[in-house]
């Protein structure tokens, strides 16, 4: 695997729908691969879906009980030795965004040690090209679907920046349920040279109405952020946009945060129902802010920033009201106590696995049935500035 640059160039020049074929050709030539397949994680993060159907291949394998799922969950290569071949499953991840798993079937007795660094580079290059290719083909978007999305869910997923993101200063992940029928819950983030801006939203209503409302609010917030406005003015501009369209008949609850990557200082605007909890050591604390009006309720609402500080080692959890207000069949609210218990119980998991684990716990509380409201969990692990980590 000494010609990684050639593989990367071939990927860049390939037609968007032929990326897997390019990788397969490269691995056949350089590693004598017998077979190559790519699987992408579905929207619910329950299965790994085959990108290109091949005879005899299982179109879907579970994430939590398969060799491919082990590679995806651990984010490390997983090898299965058989009498006729060696299967190596490799995570395909881009800047913390876990896309799926590349599987290569190699001849028996293949020495994998000299191949692994090059294979990891090929997977990274493939991941980057998939994200670019999605602008021009539906192949990879369709592969992520274990079932059909509702139109509202389609609109909401198209808004999202991704499901996870990793930088030296932090690791961030989020998940929405029910993944194929979400309504108004959403999230957004943007990382600049010195700041992370994170937005957690909950638009009122259901179906298309909720999706349209959330689309308007998210794009108004992005427009204000990209214009260089501070956090309070971002909220004010989005508030005006929503009010101008709905005249107070519909509104969006939002929690906006801006993190200074060097110091851990955080600015926050709490305009509605999304809430925040902090795990510091073994202690879980609900971080409450002064409640301000949701976006779009009244004309020309003013917003004020509040401030707090995160420390290296802190874990922050953000949840919509579909999480903390969910009720059991007996009528018991999920609430702070159950959420704190679940947050402590998942403290050893990486952030990429926490949101789905929390939502599984919520489903159990709910009696195992479908949730009555869509639910959003965002998990952020704060590592601090590089100089802080090194001390």
pLDDT along the chain (391 residues), means of 10: 81 96 95 96 96 80 96 97 95 96 96 94 97 96 95 94 96 94 93 95 91 96 97 97 96 97 97 93 94 95 97 96 78 80 93 93 69 85 74 38
The Cα 51–Cα 40 span in angstroms is 7
Backbone φ and ψ of 291, nearest 5°: -65, 130
Query: Which two three-digit tokens encode residue 205?
Result: 């209503």
Q: What contacts 13, CB < 8 A, 6 or more positions away?
A: none
Quickly count: other Cβ atoms within 10 Å of residue 230's Cβ: 14
- Tell me the three state secondary structure of residue 119: helix
pLDDT at 283: 95
> How far apart are alpha carbons 243 and 222 in whole angstroms?
17
Contact in structure between 361 and 143 (CB atoms under 8 Å) = no
Q: Given strand 375-382, what is the order of strands in its sheet?
A: 164-167, 170-177, 375-382, 315-319, 275-280, 283-287
Return the DSSP state at 142: H
Confidence (pTM): 0.92
pLDDT at 2: 55
Residue with tokens 């959890």: 317
Distance CA(362)–CA(342), nearest Å, equals: 9
Distance CA 166, CA 151 (A): 30
């Amino acid at each position: 695997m000494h010609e990684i640059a050639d593989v990367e160039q071939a990927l860049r020049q390939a037609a968007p729908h032929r990326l897997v074929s390019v990788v397969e050709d490269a691995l056949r030539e350089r590693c004598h691969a017998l077979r190559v397949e790519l699987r992408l994680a579905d929207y619910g993060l329950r299965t790994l879906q085959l990108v290109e159907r091949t005879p005899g291949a299982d179109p879907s394998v579970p994430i939590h009980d398969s060799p491919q799922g082990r590679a995806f969950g651990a984010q490390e290569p997983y090898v299965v030795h058989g009498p006729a071949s060696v299967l190596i499953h490799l995570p395909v991840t881009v800047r913390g965004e876990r896309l799926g798993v590349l599987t290569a079937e190699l001849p028996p007795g293949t020495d994998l040690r000299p191949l692994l660094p090059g294979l990891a580079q090929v997977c990274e290059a493939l991941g980057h090209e998939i994200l670019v290719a999605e602008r021009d083909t539906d192949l990879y978007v369709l592969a992520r679907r274990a079932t059909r999305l509702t139109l509202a869910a389609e609109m909401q997923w198209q808004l999202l920046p991704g499901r996870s993101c990793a930088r030296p200063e932090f690791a961030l992940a989020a998940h929405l349920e029910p993944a194929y029928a979400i309504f108004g819950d959403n999230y957004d983030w943007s990382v600049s040279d010195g700041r992370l801006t994170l937005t957690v939203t909950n638009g009122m209503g259901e179906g298309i109405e909720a999706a349209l409302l959330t689309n308007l609010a998210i794009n108004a917030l992005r427009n204000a952020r990209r214009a260089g406005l501070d956090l309070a003015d971002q909220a004010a501009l989005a508030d005006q946009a929503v009010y101008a369209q709905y005249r107070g008949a519909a509104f969006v609850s939002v929690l906006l945060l801006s993190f200074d990557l060097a110091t851990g200082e955080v600015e926050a605007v709490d305009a509605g129902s999304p809430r925040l909890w902090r795990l510091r050591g073994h202690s879980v604390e609900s971080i409450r802010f002064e409640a301000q009006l949701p976006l779009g309720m009244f004309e020309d609402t003013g917003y004020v920033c509040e401030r707090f500080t995160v420390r290296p080692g802190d874990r922050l959890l953000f949840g919509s009201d579909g999480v903390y207000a969910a009720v059991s069949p007996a009528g018991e609210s999920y609430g702070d106590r159950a959420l704190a218990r679940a947050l402590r119980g998942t403290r050893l998991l990486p952030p990429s696995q926490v949101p789905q684990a929390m939502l599984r716990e919520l489903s159990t509380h709910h009696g195992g049935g479908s949730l009555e409201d869509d639910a959003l969990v965002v998990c952020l692990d704060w590592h601090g500035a590089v100089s802080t980590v090194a001390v």
